[in-house]
Amino acid sequence: METSSISRRALVLGTGAVTAWAASPARALLAAADRAGASPAIEALLARMTVAEKAGQLTLNAATWASGAANALNPVTAGASFEVQLAEVRDGHLTGVFNGHGADMAQRMQTVAMRESRLKIPLIFAADVIHGFRTVFPVPLAEAGSFDPGLAESTARAAAVEASAAGIDWTFAPMVDIARDQRWGRGVEGAGEDVLLGRMMAAARVRGFQGTRGLAADDAVMACAKHFAAYGAAEAGLDYNSVDVSERTLRDVYFPPFQAAFAAGALSTMASFNEISGVPATANPWLLDTVLRKEWGFGGLVVSDYTGDEELIAHGFAADAREATRLAFMAGVDMSMQSNFYRDHLPALVASGAVPMARLDQAVRRVLHVKQALGLFDDPFRRIDPTRERTRVQTKAHQALARDAGRRSIVLLKNDGDLLPLPRAGKRIALIGPFAQGQEDLVGPWTVYGSDAEAVDLLTGVRAVVADAGMVTATAGSGVEQEIPGGIDAAVAAARAADVVVLAIGEGQSMSGEAQSRAAIVIPAPQLALAAAVAATGKPIVVALRNGRALEVSGAVLDAPAILVTWFLGSQSGPAIADILFGLAAPSARLPVSFPFATGQEPYHYAHKSTGRPNPAGPPRDFKARYRETLNAARFAFGHGLTYGRIAYSDLQLGTAKLAWDGDLAVRATITNSGTCAADEVVQLYVHDVAASITRPVRELKAFRRVHVAPGARVEVVFTLRRSDLLFVGTALKPTVEPGAFRLWIAPSAEAEGVSGTFELVAA
Ligand code: BGC
């Protein structure tokens, strides 16, 4: 293997670089380590490094190569040119770059590192590969709606195959923040509001990115579970805002997806921007050392989130740059992104004794271990190959996966009178709305490498599946947030001339994602006016919502007989939506977040606690937990999603009414499809601990299963519950479980009754 990869490199690089690398101290030392175990080689390399070189290994910056620039997603704070950056590599002052520009750039930079730097330590190339690379898959929130971790694993794998071919070793994903406030824009990057779904998706994505052949495989990228921790708990859903959360809630809600990601092998994590109860995560020794290292035994790498160390000053936690550096570094942030604080201040801090050399060595050791695990010491060019970069991306298989993932992420909220699926022939169809056609708002937020221009829009998707493309028109009617002069008139005329309207409305892709908090999670007013005018024509309307968060759905939109939630589905948006509209696939996804009646309910999530005066879903009553204006429930609940079959739940059977301490409880229900279309039903098991020493949520998802139910068929679903499924963080802040009564539901959503029963956990 090695011979062939070296000769392949020799072709691209010329023999000089290869010879220099083959003879480099790092290579020699780490080759020895292959036999003797990793540490001695890394220790020996460490012993040869200057303090400045060590600080360089802890300094990661955005790539500055201008050619073929990726989208600028962050504020650019470092002004270095590419030439300056190359000089930094030469001097050993940079560990790598992120969000770079493909194999050519990586090859140039790595060649300088391997030929011209003193110790020839390979660079690491990182990137935000959040939901695909050149092939863009549904945004993670959408994909969570599939309730299918296997799907998330497949798309993460495909993204890794594409990204690694372009020289990327490390992705800043998965984002595993539980997000319970829909005003927050970054919920779109994660798996939604639920802990179990969050854990399962986190682990699946890590497995997908890192692959099963070891991190050194040329198509593996290292995962980074982010943002550690509780970033999604930002007060008022305002991005970057303070978080004040109890240790119990951290352990019960926000930590588990990280633990799942680490258990699945994620070798890095990113400290979050927010403070936690007064101490910024980036300078939080309890979080980054006591919990992460000592309690969980995490042996990987902690990177700051962008200028998180620098931001300690604005937080009012550090007086100046030097103090910010010391606080972040001593708390446990090993690598600094973008601020250059470590490079600029660690040498003096070490010289003064304010930072012990042992801590510096520890952080550098972690970085070197990671580079070693990625196989970079064996072959620094293993992921850098311009040919693979062309042939491994946007393959037919990846495009097909994107289409399939898209279909499996679309949620059918309502379908009155079985308006859907639409017939493929014989109907005039008016696509109306800002998302009816055009190469915008397709791939969704946090897409660095894919582009709207390469994605397929709704009009193209629909025309490709109907019998007569001439029967389909597209009219914008409105911009996303602005009116179009005469737009509504044109849309009304188009609706009148059609038999059925597909109203493609919602949020633009810049309306969710980082720094895109919303004070009102509504469809923008010009689009609501458009919806009302089109509804007034009396034509049947299918709403196809585009969105990066749960929305408050009201008025003509809510009254439409059919509503699909289509999120941002990526490269194959149009075809995936068309498949569902015309019944080439049946909708099977479920809401991974609760859609509230009103923004004012936020943070609304199904697994809330009960007050002493609950008022569940009934009309508001005085002196009960209620809002004057609205029900205190979800408009569309977590877990909700219809299909084209007609599904009913019946026959709950519990294997026993008393679950023994070390026993099993088999829970069965029957799912019947009395419709004429086959269905994939996501059957959900919820429990409620009736009385405990720490109050428990009104319901918690404990298991789910996707079952295929043919028309007219009945399927029995069996779950097995054990005591370990009933754990919670108890009074001593440790996982605990208490004997007593539990309620249980097997249901189609978190707020549907389904079939329910009770059981008792019996003490040993
Ligand atoms: C985001 C991270 C991202 C980083 C690098 C930050 O602004 O919070 O999620 O990985 O930028 O692009």
Q: Which amino acid is at 271?
A: A
User: What DSSP letter does each residue of 635-698 carry, written as one string?
Assistant: EE-TT--B-SS-EEEEEEEES-SEE-TT-EEEEEEEEEE-SSS-EEEEEEEEEEESS-SS---S
CA distances in angstroms from 187 to 128, 205, 233, 235, 566, listed in the order given: 16, 16, 10, 14, 15
What pLDDT, on the 0 to 100 scale, is given for residue 621?
77
246-288 pLDDT tens trace = 999 999 999 999 999 999 999 999 999 999 999 999 999 999 9
Please tell me the residue having the least CA distance from ligand 1 atom 10.
172
> How far, in Å, is the centroid of ligand 1 from the Cα of 305?
6
Question: How far apart (Å, rounded) are the C-alpha atoms in residues 437 and 675?
Answer: 33
**Percent of the chain residues topping a pLDDT of 90:** 90
Question: Looking at the chain, how many residues does it have?
Answer: 764
What pLDDT, on the 0 to 100 scale, is given for residue 615?
85
109-123 pLDDT tens trace = 999 999 999 999 999
φ, ψ (nearest 5 deg) of residue 276: -120, 110
> How far, in Å, is the centroid of ligand 1 from the Cα of 304?
9
Please tell me the residue having the least CA distance from ligand 1 atom 4.
306
Tell whether ligand 1 has an atom less than 6 A from the beta carbon of residue 74: yes
Question: How far apart (Å, rounded) are the C-alpha atoms in residues 609 and 701?
Answer: 14
Residue whose pair of structure tokens reads 């829909």 in the numeric block: 182
- Mean predicted confidence (pLDDT) in 172-191: 98
Using the predicted structure, report yes or no on whether residue 312 has a pLDDT greater than 90.
Answer: yes
| pLDDT interval class at 619 (50, 70, 90) | confident
| pLDDT interval class at 5 (50, 70, 90) | very low
Burial of 751 (0-12, 13-18, 19+ CB in 10 A): buried
Please tell me the residue having the least CA distance from ligand 1 atom 8.
305
Q: Which residues does 263 contact at the CB level (< 8 Å), separation at least 6?
A: 203
- Mean predicted confidence (pLDDT) in 552-579: 98
DSSP state of 506: E
Tell whether ligand 1 has an atom less than 6 A from the beta carbon of residue 240: no
Distance spanning both ends of the chain, measured CA to CA: 57
Burial of 288 (0-12, 13-18, 19+ CB in 10 A): buried
Catalytic residue among 305, 378, 441, 579: 305
- pTM of this prediction? 0.95
Using the predicted structure, report yes or no on whether residue 317 has a pLDDT greater than 60.
Answer: yes
What pLDDT, on the 0 to 100 scale, is given for residue 245?
98
If we measure between CA atoms, which residue out of 762, 759, 700 comes closest to residue 729?
700
- Mean predicted confidence (pLDDT) in 623-639: 92
Q: How many CA atoms lie within 13 A of 647 on its CB side?
A: 31
Helix, strand, or coil (residue 758): strand
Tell whether ligand 1 has an atom less than 6 A from the beta carbon of residue 305: yes
- Mean predicted confidence (pLDDT) in 433-440: 98
What pLDDT, on the 0 to 100 scale, is given for residue 76?
58
For 19-28, 336-345, 706-715, which range has the lowest pLDDT when averaged over its residues?
19-28
pLDDT mean across residues, the chain:
93
Question: How far apart (Å, rounded) are the C-alpha atoms in residues 494 and 435?
Answer: 15
459-489 pLDDT tens trace = 999 999 999 999 999 999 999 999 999 999 9
- Mean predicted confidence (pLDDT) in 156-183: 98
What pLDDT, on the 0 to 100 scale, is given for residue 3?
25
Question: Which residue out of 97, 130, 170, 172 has the highest number of ligand 1 atoms within 8 Å of its CB and is therefore the one to mutate?
Answer: 172
Q: Which residues does 78 contact at the CB level (< 8 Å), separation at least 6?
A: 61, 62, 64, 338, 340
> How far, in Å, is the centroid of ligand 1 from the Cα of 307?
9
What pLDDT, on the 0 to 100 scale, is given for residue 18?
35
Which atom of ligand 1 is least distant from the CA of 99?
A: 12
What pLDDT, on the 0 to 100 scale, is given for residue 20?
42
Question: Which residue out of 61, 64, 71, 74 has the highest number of ligand 1 atoms within 8 Å of its CB and is therefore the one to mutate?
Answer: 74
Whether residue 735 contacts residue 729, with contact meaning beta carbons closer than 8 Å, is answered with yes
What pLDDT, on the 0 to 100 scale, is given for residue 616?
75
Using the predicted structure, report yes or no on whether residue 325 has a pLDDT greater than 70.
Answer: yes
What pLDDT, on the 0 to 100 scale, is given for residue 290?
98
Q: Which amino acid is at 580?
A: I
24-82 pLDDT tens trace = 444 444 444 333 345 698 999 999 999 999 999 999 999 998 654 444 566 655 467 89
Longest alpha-carbon distance in the chain: 81
> How far, in Å, is the centroid of ligand 1 from the Cα of 192?
19
Peptide bond just before 421 cis, omega within 30 deg: yes
What pLDDT, on the 0 to 100 scale, is given for residue 80?
73
What pLDDT, on the 0 to 100 scale, is given for residue 7?
27
CA triplet 519, 524, 530: central angle to 5 degrees? 160
305 is catalytic: yes
| pLDDT interval class at 517 (50, 70, 90) | very high
Which atom of ligand 1 is least distant from the CA of 172?
A: 10
